[in-house]
Chains A and B, each alone.
Chain A
């Protein structure tokens, strides 16, 4: 955090554009990280200790910077004040809702968007991966949609869908769609030809091929896409809660910025990071349960 930290800038739209533009790049690097992790052996204790030490040093410098008075609390509140503020948001609430209510509102939007993105994205990805016609129709649409920062189409979505819950879910869903479609298409294209042939020789109908061979083969890829999509969707949350929200973690941060309540802003950022981490962990557990076989293949 530098003294020119974006949270103190009155016009909050500026830093948010930066945040939104970072989404596609962040999604790609996360995909790369996911591939690396699955290829490398499990990290040893040494790495855990180094990571723990790094976090400790960062927290200590944060504390030292605020305790020494080098940085005013308006720009950088102390760790203690953020922690106690977090506790108060959790128990008493902030802008008419407790932390749990803000979180529930945000999580509902992200998961509603995820459900919609999966319902549309998986069939679309299968169509791209399995059919030349499907690829011809859908590929340009996805390639057009993919690089657009969600904040760019937010105004259009609001004009179309109004300022209600639909618009927010739509913006998050649009950010989630490309990674799911692309991952599903890659998974469907990667189905081993021999497996398809064997299933056909055993009498599989096209529908059975899709359900019993293609989908299970593509599932690891679909889950990777879902993980990237969750990251992208969660990153888009603040943008989606920019307009006419009364609840949500992103909304909470923006209201706090208007009141220059920097400690709430930092607490909100910590919450967003923690939830993102929990979601990532959840998906990894799901992967282990559903497609554990793919780690041995």
Chain B
């Protein structure tokens, strides 16, 4: 599924009565199966961009297309994972994962079976009966990912999904996300403020900077695929190439222009 963002602008009402322009003239075309790491400093509008693609917030100008359908609101073709796991605490892990199927009227038995399958995909087999509060932060985020996957979306939108996790769990989760991407071949739009994370995960790095936010860098990356071939584990992060790419990215983010 091809995601096309065409001259997208998003404004919010400002306290002084005017309009606060958060995004301006964003153009982005994402090919099926791409893993786009959307990187930027705090307040550059990267979450706003993701919310617009998810359909949570209507664009002020421009259009967003998934294949030949123009986005008018949230939809099942775009799965969403947020920084807060946003699980439903009154449901156990399995029922959380199966929530999207329940909305479609899928019967309990099939729902539970498919939820269990999705839980296996994120390494949580046998945890289906656990209540949300019995799961760790990383496990909750995995349930959240499984919940998005079980609806079989074309595109996965992830808004700093690992941002609230501790450093070690985050590293493990990065490998898990890479593994899920490799197995499902979903198109992924992954918002992050972590340089390492963006470089490690993305097949393409898009940097937003400025106010209103514009795309200041858009280039392919190869560390993710290399990491997969390497068996993950984040070892690639200590190579000189990775460090050099990291420094360059840092420059771009803080100066807002390509060096």
A-side interface residues toward B, CB under 8 Å?
A: 192, 194-195, 197-205, 208, 212-213, 216, 219, 291, 293-294, 296-297
Contacts and interface: CB of A to CB of B under 8 A. Distances in A.
Nearest to B104: A203
Interface stretch (B16-24, B75-83, B198-206): B75-83
B247 to A, nearest CB: 34
A219 B89 CA distance: 12
Interface stretch (B35-43, B95-103, B182-190): B95-103
B254 interface: no
Interface in B211-256: none
B56 interface: yes
Contacts of A205: 103
A43 to B, nearest CB: 22
Contacts of B144: 198
Contacts of A198: 80, 82, 86, 144, 147
A208 B79 CA distance: 18
Interface string B65-79: 000000001111011
Contacts of B131: 293, 296
Contacts, number: 73
Q: Which of B78, B82, B148, B151 has the most CB of A within 10 A?
A: B82
Nearest to A294: B89
A202 B103 contact: yes
Nearest to B57: A197
20 contacts: A192-B84, A194-B84, A195-B88, A198-B80, A198-B82, A198-B86, A198-B147, A200-B56, A200-B74, A201-B54, A201-B56, A201-B75, A201-B79, A202-B79, A203-B76, A203-B104, A208-B103, A212-B103, A216-B88, A293-B90
Contacts of A201: 54-56, 74-76, 78-80, 148, 157
Interface SS of chain A: helix
A297 B133 contact: yes
Contacts of A194: 82, 84, 86
Nearest 6 A-B pairs (CB), nearest first?
A: A296-B133, A202-B100, A194-B86, A200-B74, A201-B80, A203-B76
Contacts of A195: 86, 88
A204 B103 contact: yes
Contacts of B44: none
A197 B133 contact: no
B118 to A, nearest CB: 13
A212 B132 contact: no
Contacts of B103: 199, 202-205, 208, 212
Max count, chain B CB within 10 A of own CB: residue among A201, A202, A212, A213: A201
B90 A203 contact: no
Interface in B81-117: 82, 84, 86, 88-90, 99-100, 102-104
B99 A199 contact: yes
Nearest to B81: A198
A252 to B, nearest CB: 42
Contacts of B99: 199, 202, 212
A9 B55 CA distance: 69
B132 A197 contact: no
B95 to A, nearest CB: 11
A297 B103 CA distance: 24
Given A197-B74, A202-B147, 6 more contacts: A194-B86, A201-B55, A201-B79, A205-B103, A216-B88, A294-B89
B130 to A, nearest CB: 12
Contacts of A199: 99, 103
Nearest to B102: A212
B100 A203 contact: yes
Nearest to B85: A194
Given A208-B103, A212-B103, A197 B56 contact: yes
Nearest to B75: A203
B86 A197 contact: yes
B151 A203 contact: yes
Nearest to B82: A194
Contacts of A204: 103
Contact of A192 (B76, B80, B86, B151): B86
B69 to A, nearest CB: 14
A195 B90 CA distance: 12
Contacts of A213: 88
Nearest to B54: A201
A203 B54 CA distance: 12
Contacts of B84: 192, 194
Contacts of B147: 198, 202
B141 to A, nearest CB: 13
B97 to A, nearest CB: 11
Contact of B80 (A197, A208, A294): A197
A205 B144 CA distance: 20
Contacts of A216: 88, 90
Contact of B82 (A197, A202, A212, A294): A197
